[in-house]
């Protein structure tokens, strides 16, 4: 058991996958942050809106009553920290600062409206991953494989995979097995068909039980099977593209966007991809060199 645990977390891993993960997390976070440019302005809303977020909720997310100018300055610092993290500059400090500030700003979008507590709208995994990056050993491209470059990547993958598994568990806990039925899925599709914003493919599912059953089963399989990408490269090669396509279909059928979907790129084997591209490039270069050799040299080689 211990050997399996060590192989999963601590067998040597190359630096490329971890470097790619750092860039993916930072760029995804930056994309989500820049899509919400007015977040700091929420602190300037009238005091009546702040009656729902109690003192504990404000303290939990470091909402300390700073003026708008100070929050805007922190927002700019967050953007700079994410850019530095993506570039691999002062990574430990910049990733930690970005994680803390992202944790602070992430709930602003729901701070007034969510009765169960603010949601992070795609930034939950990003915050966790940035904290992991900040405490991990920072790799360089030509470093030798090391366990120090594997465990942070596997922990980031695990936390992201849990977003699917916990979603499936939540469905079963709140609704039960009947969530995964065609009738229930058809009801969900109909509930998302608003008069002024009906998803373009929603009509295909209404009155078509087979498509609704396929939609329900696809949702359950995505939630409960994705965790196997952590343990099987073959499962990852199959499930990651399928889940990516499923997210695109969900947008067209339900109008629901999963903002953290770019983090699926964490499961790409960038080491293998770059080595394959390098091998192809080196092979082409060797072929060009042979083609450019004088005829006498070629005949001598024969």
User: Got the DSSP string for 91-143?
Assistant: HHHHHHHHHHHHHHHGGGGGTTT-TT----TT-HHHHHHHHHHHHSPPP-TTP
- Both tokens assigned to 110: 């729901």
Dihedral of the alpha carbons of 21, 24, 25, 27, in degrees to the nearest 10? 150
Dihedral of the alpha carbons of 10, 11, 14, 17, in degrees to the nearest 10? -60
3 state SS of 295: helix
Lowest mean pLDDT among 46-50, 105-109, 251-255, 290-294: 290-294
232: burial class by Cβ within 10 Å (0-12, 13-18, 19+)?
A: exposed
pLDDT at 300 over 80: no
Per-residue pLDDT averaged across 51-73, rounded? 88
pLDDT confidence band for 223 (50 / 70 / 90)? very high
Q: How distant, in Å, are the alpha carbons of 21, 42, 55, 179, 262 from that of 16? A: 8, 39, 44, 41, 18
Please tell me the predicted confidence (pLDDT) of residue 175.
87
Please tell me the predicted confidence (pLDDT) of residue 289.
41
Question: 194-200: long-range contacts at Cβ-Cβ below 8 A with a sequence spacing of 24 or more?
Answer: 197/255, 198/255, 199/251, 199/252, 199/253, 199/254, 199/255, 200/252
pLDDT confidence band for 280 (50 / 70 / 90)? low
pLDDT confidence band for 115 (50 / 70 / 90)? low
- Least Cα distance to 215 among 181, 252, 192, 239 occurs for 181
pLDDT at 266 over 60: yes
pLDDT at 117 over 80: no
* pTM of the entire predicted model: 0.87
pLDDT at 163 over 60: yes
Average pLDDT of the residues of the chain: 87
Per-residue pLDDT averaged across 161-188, rounded? 91
DSSP 53: S
pLDDT at 288 over 60: no
pLDDT at 292 over 50: no
pLDDT confidence band for 141 (50 / 70 / 90)? confident
> Is the Cβ–Cβ distance between 22 and 135 less than 8 Å?
no
């Amino acid at each position: 058991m211990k050997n399996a645990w060590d192989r999963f977390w601590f067998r040597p891993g190359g630096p490329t996958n971890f470097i790619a993960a750092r860039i993916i997390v930072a760029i995804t976070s930056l994309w989500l942050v820049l899509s919400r440019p007015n977040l700091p302005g929420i602190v300037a809303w009238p005091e009546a809106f702040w009656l729902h977020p109690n003192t504990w909720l404000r303290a939990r997310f470091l909402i300390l009553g700073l003026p708008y100018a100070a929050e805007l300055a922190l927002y700019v610092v967050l953007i700079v920290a994410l850019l530095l993290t993506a570039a691999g500059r002062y990574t430990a400090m910049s990733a930690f600062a970005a994680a803390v500030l992202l944790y602070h700003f992430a709930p602003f979008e729901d701070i007034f409206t969510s009765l169960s507590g603010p949601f992070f709208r795609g930034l939950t995994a990003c915050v966790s991953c940035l904290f992991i990056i900040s405490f991990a050993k920072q790799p360089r491209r030509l470093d030798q494989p090391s366990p120090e470059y594997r465990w942070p990547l596997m922990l980031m993958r695990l936390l992201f995979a849990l977003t699917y598994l916990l979603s499936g568990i939540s469905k079963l806990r709140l609704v039960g097995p009947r969530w995964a039925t065609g009738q229930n899925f058809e009801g969900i599709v109909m509930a998302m068909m608003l008069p002024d914003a009906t998803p373009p493919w929603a009509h295909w599912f209404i009155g078509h039980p087979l498509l609704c059953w396929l939609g329900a089963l696809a949702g359950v399989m995505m939630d409960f099977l994705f965790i196997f990408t952590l343990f099987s490269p073959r499962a990852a090669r199959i499930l990651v593209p399928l889940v990516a396509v499923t997210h695109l279909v969900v947008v067209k059928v339900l109008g629901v966007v999963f903002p953290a979907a770019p983090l699926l790129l964490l499961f790409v084997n960038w080491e293998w991809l770059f080595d394959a591209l390098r091998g192809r490039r080196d092979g082409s270069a060797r072929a060009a060199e042979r083609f450019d050799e004088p005829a006498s040299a070629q005949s001598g080689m024969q």
